[in-house]
Every structure is written in C-alpha cells, then in structure tokens.
Structure 1
Amino acid sequence: MPTLTYTHWRDVPETTWRWPSFSPTEMACRGSGAIKINTEAMDMLQRLRNRLAKPLIVLSAYRSPEHNRAVGGAPASKHMLATAFDIAMANHDPVAFEAAARAVGFLGFGFYPRSGFMHIDLGPARSWGDRFPVQATAFIEETPPAREVLAQSRTLRGTGAAGVATVGAAGIEVAQEVLAETQDAVLPLVPYLETLRWVFIAVALGGIAVAVWARIDDWTRGRR
C-alpha cells in the first residue's frame, strides 16, 4: 500500500492530494504537524464519506511516535502507519456509521461512547470498547408548531357564526318580500321578521369581531 511522508502538512503538493472531502491539515499529526499519507486508507475514507453523504469530523489521523506516546496511544497503534482514523459521532448514527465503514472495507473498530468517537482502521479485523447505545431514532425530525384543532378554533367559530348569521339575515329579507306579496293574513308577521333580521345581522357582526380578535391574539402568541 503506497505511503507518502512529509515533514509538515504544508509540504504536501496540491497535485498529490486527491481527496476532496478532506485536507492535509486534518490528516496531519496534531503534535508535530508531520503527515504520512496511506493512499489506500485515504481512498477508503473518501468512499465512506461519499457513502454517508455527510461530513466526517476527523479527530485524529496520523500520529508521530512521539505524539502517540504523549496521548497514551497503543504501542503499535495503526495511527502511526496512517491507516487509522478517529471519527466524531456528533453528526452520525453510530450504528449506521459502523455499517457503512464495514461496507467500504474498514476492519478494525474501537468504540468510545463516553468520548463520542469511533476508531476505524484497515485491520486486521477486531473490535474493542463498549458499543454506542442504540438510538430509537437517529435524529429528531423537525415537527411543525402545534395548531388548533379546527373544531376548537376560535377563528373558525367566529367566522362560522358570522356566515350563518349573514345567511339567516338574507333569508329573512327574502321571506319578508315573499310574505309581503302573499295574503293579508300573514302580513302581521312582517314586523317580527324585520326584528329577527336585525338580530341575525347583530350576530354576524359579533362573529366577525370574534374572528378578528382571535387572529390578532394568535399573531401576538406566535401562532401565525
């Protein structure tokens, strides 16, 4: 497996770097700035990034022997060969991440749920640490703000009352015209119908007022 070594990540030629989702800075030793590039491991990491379709936050990649000792790494850590990566799980479901990493060819897995990252490397096949708790839902979906049930909506009640009253007032007016043209026996009812028509009009105006007040109140409470 081809491996390229540079004293500092700034020395990496742009023509050499072919992994668009990552940079030499991310892969360099956090202690010295030196970088070792294992092209097979980097190709696999890029395939994992493409498969997951979301960023990989690399906490640790290559480590110089001195830096590996300083951070308490294993004496034969794969980080010193640039074939291992520690990836934060902050933006990933660990179960889905592990499955994708295995699918692209990673064989070694270390689980660090308390520190929030997963170690992956080229192998040999093995695993250690306590697995991350299984999440019922990987990410909480955004839910729309609660809305009033239509049957309980103040606005609907107000506009409904206004509509019914308006129709009622119009019906009374039609009835008046019809009765006025019928027999004299029913003419005494016309004054009462006039009063009833005004009652319906008053109810309609009240319904409209309730609807307007409800919309203003909803606006002030952020229910738009």
Structure 2
Amino acid sequence: MPTTTYAHFRDVPESAWRWPSFSPAEIACRGTGAIKINTEAMDKLQSLRNRLGKPLIVRSAYRSPSHNRAVGGAPASKHMQGTAFDIAMSNHDPIAFAEAARAVGFLGFGTYPRSGFIHIDLGPARSWGEQFPVREVPFVTEIRPAREAIAQSRTLRGTGAAGVATVGAAGVELAQEVLAEAQGAVLPLVPYLDTLRWLFITLALGGIAVAVWARIDDWKKDLR
C-alpha cells in the first residue's frame, strides 16, 4: 500500500492529490497538521463518496502518534497508518453508509452512536460498538405549508383589482377628452365622468394596498 508522509498538509503538492471530494487539511492530523497519505485508503474513501452521492464529513483521519495518545486512541490504531477514517452520520443513514463502505472494500467498522460517527478502516475484518437507533426514514422530510391556490390568492386578487381599476381610470379620462370635444348636448356628462375616474383611481390604490399587505402576510406564513 503506497504511503507518503508530509510534515504538514500544506506541503502536499497539488499534483500529488487526486481525490476531488477531499482536501489534505481534512485528512491531516488534527493535532499536528502532519499527514500520511495511503493511496489505497484514499481511493476507497473517494469511491465511497461517489457511491453515496453526498459529502462525507471526516471527523478524524490520520493521527500522529502523539495526537493519537492525546485523544485516547488504541495503541495500534489504524489512524496512525492513514488507513482509517471516522465519518459523521449527521447527513447519512448508518445502515446505508455501512453497506456502501463494505461494498467499496472497507473491512473494519466501529459504531459510536453517542458521538455520532462510524469508524471505517482497511482491516482486518472486524466490528465493534453499539448499534445506531433504527430510523423510520433516513432523514426527516421537510414539511412546508401548502402554497395558496392561484385562484384564491389574495395577492393576485389585489393586483388584479388594481390593474382593472387603473385601466378603468385611463378609459374614463379618455372618454372625458372625447366628450369634451363633442357637441354641447353631452357636456353635462363630463363632471360625472370625472367623479367616476376618481373612483377608479381610489379602487386602484386600494387594490395595490391589499396586494402589498397580502404579500407581507404570505411571507410571515411561509406561503411565498
């Protein structure tokens, strides 16, 4: 198993890193920044990431001997060889994760439900730890209130009323101009049309106010 060690993850050349879903900083020792790259382990980790189709949150990967002692790791921990990873289960179903990890070639499994992660390594084949609680579904489905039907939308009604009233006001104003140029027999109608125009304008302003209020209320109720 080809292994390369660097004193610090910043020393890893870009040309030597071929795992696009991870960075040297994620795999490096949390205590010293040193990194040991085991290409077989990293290839399997990338394959696992590809198989699951979602990010792997690496809680711990390589550990220097001093850091392994500091965190209470096993004296012969696979982490010190760069062949072990602790992966958070916050965005994974533990059962599906374990099945996928076995499928790509990981052999050692340690489950830590209280800490929320699963340890995987290249072997030998073994397992330990408590089982994760069984979930009815892998993740809780996001529930959002049903959107207001367009035909019943208060916003649509308000803007519709405003639009109709605006067109009506413009039409009355045009009728006024036409009648003003007509013969004297129809001139008495002009003042009434002026009142009608202002009525339409008031209706338009009211419709706009209703639309604005309804939109704000929809945002508050998450109906946007």
Scaled by the length of structure 1, the TM-score of the pair is 0.67
Q: Which residue of 1 aligns with 2:105?
A: 105
Q: Post-superposition shift, 1:218? A: 7.1
Q: Which residue of 2 aligns with 1:39?
A: 39
Give the 5 Å matches for 1:54-203: 54-146=54-146
Q: Which residue of 1 aligns with 2:23?
A: 23
Q: Summarize deviations over 1:125-181 as a string: whole Å, max 9, x none.
A: 1111101111101112233414789xxx9x9xxxxxxxxxxxxxxxxxxxxxxxxxx
Change (3 A) 1:218 1:136: farther
Q: Distance in 2 between matches of 1:71 and 1:216?
A: 58
Q: Distance in 2 between matches of 1:57 and 1:112?
A: 15
Q: Which residue of 2 aligns with 1:188?
A: none
Q: Which residue of 1 aligns with 2:51?
A: 51
Q: Distance in 2 between matches of 1:147 and 1:36?
A: 52
Q: Summarize deviations over 1:87-136 as a string: whole Å, max 9, x none.
A: 11111111111111111110100111111111000011111110111110
Structure whose CA Rg is larger = 1
Q: Distance in 2 between matches of 1:34 and 1:96?
A: 32
Residue 7 (structure 2) pairs with residue 7 (structure 1): yes
SS in 2 for 1:106: coil
SS in 2 for 1:143: coil
RMSD, matched Cα: 2.7
Change (3 A) 1:217 1:103: same
Change (3 A) 1:16 1:217: closer
Q: Distance in 1 between matches of 2:109 and 2:48?
A: 14
Letter in 1 for 2:110: G
The sequence identity of aligned pairs, in percent, is 73
> Which runs of no fewer than 5 residues in structure 2 stay unpaired?
155-206
Q: Distance in 2 between matches of 1:20 and 1:115?
A: 27
Q: Distance in 2 between matches of 1:66 and 1:220?
A: 58
How many corresponding residue pairs?
169
